[in-house]
A and B are shown apart, each in its own frame.
Chain A
């Protein structure tokens, strides 16, 4: 039962092959038996899940079942969940139990989904390896001595380990697509503003975007159909109606123009990863698509621009964690200044502190124009490259990450080397474009991701392009050894 996709579970529940309580219990048992190897969950909400599954079965029996009724999922621990600890992977929020649900969580509840718990993540979504969590590193089910990618590494590992068929995740610089690539799963970062950020703990507000991690593009379409849509509680959420992203999954891709950026295949790309991505592009040609060489000349500036803008926004967003209103408070503060300094010094981990300091530097008097303003100007140049490219092509493709999953601890001493793991994903966040990663082969015995970048609000086409590849290949059906 744990090998079923969301689409198969939906059919199985409606055909009464099994009940929601049965599949929920089965997956909870797997989490209990296997997750000590992967550490992909921070909280497992077994009792609540069984209650939700029982209610879903009653609705299914009455024929009153919404889209995902009875389907088990899990939420990244960045989404607020009423009555359930929401830690954001941080000691700072270790004791935080929100009194409300994030809009995304509420949308899944309205759709009848069953939440099994909260998945592990890099602290405040800052990281590319899922080693910065207060709750310990997540291990990659393909090789438990390796990282699963970050920051949604727990969400990706839980799907790759067949503990849950789909999870929510977030992507500020590649945090859905990079772990999806490294765990052989399918991850989708929608257009900025397509999914509400209300109740999603903010890291960098102009970049953060929620999306799904699943095994297939079809499942990603099912989850996005539930997640997307306007939200009056989030003024940055686009006022565009939700749509059924499964409706166009059968469209032909004959004549599709695929832009292949020369900058994504240069120095720094592992040769085996490059070969797998090239083979996937050839497969698209065989499906009737046309490859068009394009250039994104400012893409090399994406990482430096990101590491000004994201820390600057983080330094403002994380100022609320001060030891007063909620979360961690240091012991016996001498005065208010001491309370702030020690609560934040003791409550935040090293990577979070580093980014707050960088952000404070970029925003401080005398440096604002040279750093923050400059980065926002470069951001426009990066966006314009994509606008020019989409005049010529329908989608853009390349590698998701330059390497397969690396060993735990390998890049901890070198933050810049870690930041470069997101070199191919960051530009889409700066531009606000949607992007996906789908499995397209193996390098050094580990999964490789193909990145598909779509035009603004063109998620439906992107999902169909991914789906057509998955109809013609079986990379997405490979199972990690530890998940057997």
Chain B
């Protein structure tokens, strides 16, 4: 299955991943190979088969709505590339 350059550009936008012009053809070709592999699934009859999300059919475990973790703001902020006044700093998004 071929994946054209336009589709790759759309996927790159959806995934927020910059892909250089020079590598688009190679990425298209390799993506096409992978999608050809997964296209084998289309030949399988799955009428009436329930999709499986958890192999042991476990249900979501809920806990009481109580605070159990201490506030570790300073430690987490210390990991960020840039912070100011106790906040994460990101480039401006409004001109």
Taking CB atoms, residues of chain B closer than 8 Å to A390 are none
| Given A232-B63, A324-B90, A326-B80: A371 and B38 interface contact (C-beta under 8 Å) | yes
| Given A99-B72, A415-B33, A416-B37: A364 and B14 interface contact (C-beta under 8 Å) | yes
Chain A: CB-nearest residue to B8: A357
B18 and A378 within 8 A (CB)? no
Residue interface bits A35-63, CB-to-B below 8 A is 1, else 0:
00000000000000000000000000000
A315 and B60 within 8 A (CB)? no
> How many angstroms between the C-alpha atoms of A162 and B29 in the bound complex?
41
Nearest chain B CB to A112 CB, angstrom units: 26
Taking CB atoms, residues of chain B closer than 8 Å to A66 are none
| Given A301-B44, A374-B42, A381-B44: A431 and B81 interface contact (C-beta under 8 Å) | no
| Given A354-B30, A357-B11, A361-B31: A304 and B38 interface contact (C-beta under 8 Å) | yes
A340 and B52 within 8 A (CB)? no
B72 and A335 within 8 A (CB)? no
| Given A97-B79, A325-B79, A336-B93: A380 and B35 interface contact (C-beta under 8 Å) | no
The residue from A235, A307, A319, A323 contacting B38, defined by CB atoms under 8 A apart? A307
Q: Does B84 contact A (CB under 8 A)?
A: no
A416 and B33 within 8 A (CB)? yes
A192 and B91 within 8 A (CB)? no
> How many angstroms between the C-alpha atoms of A361 and B15 in the bound complex?
9
Nearest chain A CB to B40 CB, angstrom units: 5
The residue from A301, A319, A346, A348 contacting B41, defined by CB atoms under 8 A apart? A301
B16 and A341 within 8 A (CB)? yes
A99 and B27 within 8 A (CB)? no
Q: Which residue, B20, B61, B82, has most C-beta atoms of chain A within 10 A?
A: B61
| Given A97-B79, A335-B93: A432 and B37 interface contact (C-beta under 8 Å) | no
B11 and A360 within 8 A (CB)? yes
Taking CB atoms, residues of chain B closer than 8 Å to A334 are 91
Interface size on B, residues (CB 8 A): 51
Taking CB atoms, residues of chain B closer than 8 Å to A381 are 44, 46, 49
Taking CB atoms, residues of chain B closer than 8 Å to A344 are 15-18
Q: Does A376 contact B (CB under 8 A)?
A: yes
A375 and B41 within 8 A (CB)? yes
> How many angstroms between the C-alpha atoms of A104 and B54 in the bound complex?
22
> How many angstroms between the C-alpha atoms of A367 and B58 in the bound complex?
27
Q: Does B34 contact A (CB under 8 A)?
A: yes
| Given A193-B58, A336-B90, A361-B35: A415 and B14 interface contact (C-beta under 8 Å) | no
> How many angstroms between the C-alpha atoms of A354 and B32 in the bound complex?
11
B27 and A383 within 8 A (CB)? no
A324 and B88 within 8 A (CB)? yes
Q: Which of A453-484 contact B (CB under 8 A)?
A: 456
Nearest chain B CB to A197 CB, angstrom units: 13
> How many angstroms between the C-alpha atoms of A191 and B40 in the bound complex?
27
Taking CB atoms, residues of chain B closer than 8 Å to A329 are 81-82
> How many angstroms between the C-alpha atoms of A256 and B54 in the bound complex?
29
Question: Which B residues form the contact surface with A (CB < 8 A)?
Answer: 7-8, 11-12, 14-20, 27, 30-31, 33-42, 44, 46, 49-56, 58, 60-61, 63, 72, 75-76, 78-82, 88, 90-93
> Can you name 26 A-B pairs with beta carbons within 8 Å?
A99-B76, A192-B55, A206-B53, A206-B55, A304-B37, A304-B40, A324-B88, A325-B79, A326-B79, A335-B93, A337-B16, A338-B91, A344-B17, A354-B31, A358-B31, A361-B7, A364-B11, A371-B38, A374-B44, A374-B46, A376-B53, A377-B49, A377-B50, A377-B51, A383-B52, A430-B55
